[in-house]
Amino acid sequence: MRTELAQQPVDATTTSAWADLTRLSDALEPDLRGWFANDPGRAGRFAFQAADLHVDLSKNLLTDDVAAALVALAEQTGVAARRDAMYAGQHINVTEDRAVLHTALRRPAGAGPALHVDGQDIDSDVQTELAKVYAFAEKVRSGEWTGVTGQRVRTIVNIGIGGSDLGPVMAYEALAPYVAEGLECRFVSNIDPTDVAQKTADLDPATTLFIVASKTFGTLETLTNARLARDWLWRSLAEAGAVEDTEQGRADAVAKHFVAVSTALDKVAAFGIDPRNAFGFWDWVGGRYSMDSAIGASLAIAIGPERFAELLAGFHAMDRHFATAPLASNVPVLMGLLNVWYTNFRGAHTHAVLPYAQQLHRFPAYLQQLTMESNGKSVRADGTPVTSDTGEVFWGEPGTNGQHAFYQLIHQGTRLIPADFIAVAQPAYGLTDPVGDGKAVEAGADVHGLFLANFFAQTKALAFGRTADEVRAEGTAEELVSARVFSGNRPTTSILAPALTPSVLGQLVALYEHITFVQGAIWGIDSFDQWGVELGKKLALEIAPAVAGDEAALAAQDASTASLIKKYRELRG
């Protein structure tokens, strides 16, 4: 079911829109101050609503002509057709010959028309697995599911890596106010043994449940950590006298304290997990797109099925916007086009994501995998070399933390760094400053309001800067004026939501999924494979014997690698 859309992508650089954008960029002299002063309607014209998200694009380096040319680029490269092919289940992941159907994970029950792909009833498969996850979550939350000693679960430890970790941990942190009292989730991902040791150090094994998340149940890091966790469980329960240190005692412990998210039921069973306690997903779900599948089981337990359903509804709301809104008012399309504009025409290499919401502190890390694993490609979907730069380095930190770290570079550095600012109007924790500072902040001031004053101020400062005359007017000594000038014209997008609810989180994640899709479609690449992560993993398996002392394996290494391994072995003693 391969699609010609994927096999023969349009070369964006050959389109008339690309030529128009090149001409417009060459002639563009950014002047956000002037643009706003001369165009009272600019703020309203470049602000859009997508589900619950208010998205203001007006502080971008965007004119009406640039916006029109960008939309034309989307039209001429077939973005809408490729989007529709994805929703229909065509195999747009060509290197793996797979459909790309993460959007099907959040289709509501009974949605029409029914989705049948490759002989499978996708809707039925999704709803069946989701019901299984929900039923298990209710058992854990109610105390019906107990550990081997009969005690209810208090801590869920999710063991995964990549998409099996980044999505669940980001969402758990973001939705912390919704987590059931008496439940906690921890997340183990790094193969560094420190990770699992620290995450289990203060846990009671009798009240701990491990979720091992690995589609193939063969991911080296995940299975290594799962074995370490299993050994910890056996040892700790035996030392406490909770189980006998026998084969049967160990089997009983694993059966009650381990479940899996995997489709490799034979390997799950060999590990000791009852296959009935394994939750599956499908090869049409990429790992970085899987947090709303059974990979989110830890989150479903923590916040409950009702809230998890709200998360899925938020995803679906953005999916519908992306599928139906005209290109000229389609927020994921416009944001994806802006990223192309900055990457290919304005010389940007990185992209900052700056959430003014502490609960979203892991969101930039989540987006790093989503965007860079998807669009870090140098060949197109048909195997030919790309004809333009692709991808951006995504990075960021929450709120005022970033202001006191790297904002200097964004404000006054020599590099263009587009930035997305994200904030919510209603905080999870509404606090007032009991004292104030006697000047700008009075006693009883709303701290969230003060926080968001920074959100508004930073985008204003980046857009409009401060001229030399304005600096002089403040009484600054002439020799210091140049150091205090801000050039402005630093592009930002502002995203404002009512509150960080499960639905809003789903909308945010889906928004960036679709932004990533749009960029990949324009560049003609396959955004849904990740062959770039495979070589290092393969070589690690080949090098491991040399690290362990195999001299023949050591001799097979290049001089630099061999020297490093020898030094490591020397230091290790």
Which residues are the active-site residues? 373, 404, 537
CA distance 545 to 553: 6
Q: Which residue has the tokens 């150091």?
A: 483
Q: Helices (DSSP H) in 143-219: which residue ranges?
A: 163-174, 193-200
Q: Do the beta carbons of residue 174 and residue 167 sit within 8 Å?
A: no
CA distance 290 to 120: 19
Task: Calculate the CA 355 to chain-centre distance.
Answer: 13
Q: Helices (DSSP H) in 113-162: which residue ranges?
A: 122-142
Give the three-class secondary structure for 100.
Answer: coil
CA nearest 451: which of 431, 478, 468? Answer: 431
CA nearest 456: which of 356, 353, 363, 331? Answer: 356
Residues 6+ apart with CB under 8 A from 277: 136, 255, 258, 259, 260
Question: What's the farthest any 2 CA atoms get from each other in the chain?
Answer: 82
- Tokens representing 441 are 């902040």
Amino acid at residue number 179: V
Name the packing angle between helices 305-324 and 122-142 (round to 10°).
150
CA distance 379 to 376: 10
CA nearest 320: which of 310, 328, 330? Answer: 330
CA distance 148 to 145: 10
In the DSSP assignment, the letter for residue 259 is: E
Q: Do the beta carbons of residue 270 and residue 251 sit within 8 Å?
A: no
Long-range contacts of 334-337 (CB under 8 A, 24+ apart): 334/48, 334/57, 334/67, 334/70, 335/55, 335/57, 335/420, 335/493, 335/511, 335/515, 335/518, 336/514, 336/515, 336/516, 336/517, 336/518, 336/519, 336/522, 337/70, 337/71, 337/73, 337/74, 337/518, 337/522
In the DSSP assignment, the letter for residue 151 is: P
CA distance 281 to 234: 29
Residues 6+ apart with CB under 8 A from 462: 59, 410, 411, 419, 488, 490, 491, 492
**Which stretch of DSSP H or E encloses residue 116?**
strand 116-117
Give the three-class secondary structure for 160.
Answer: coil
Q: Which residue has the tokens 């995450």?
A: 199
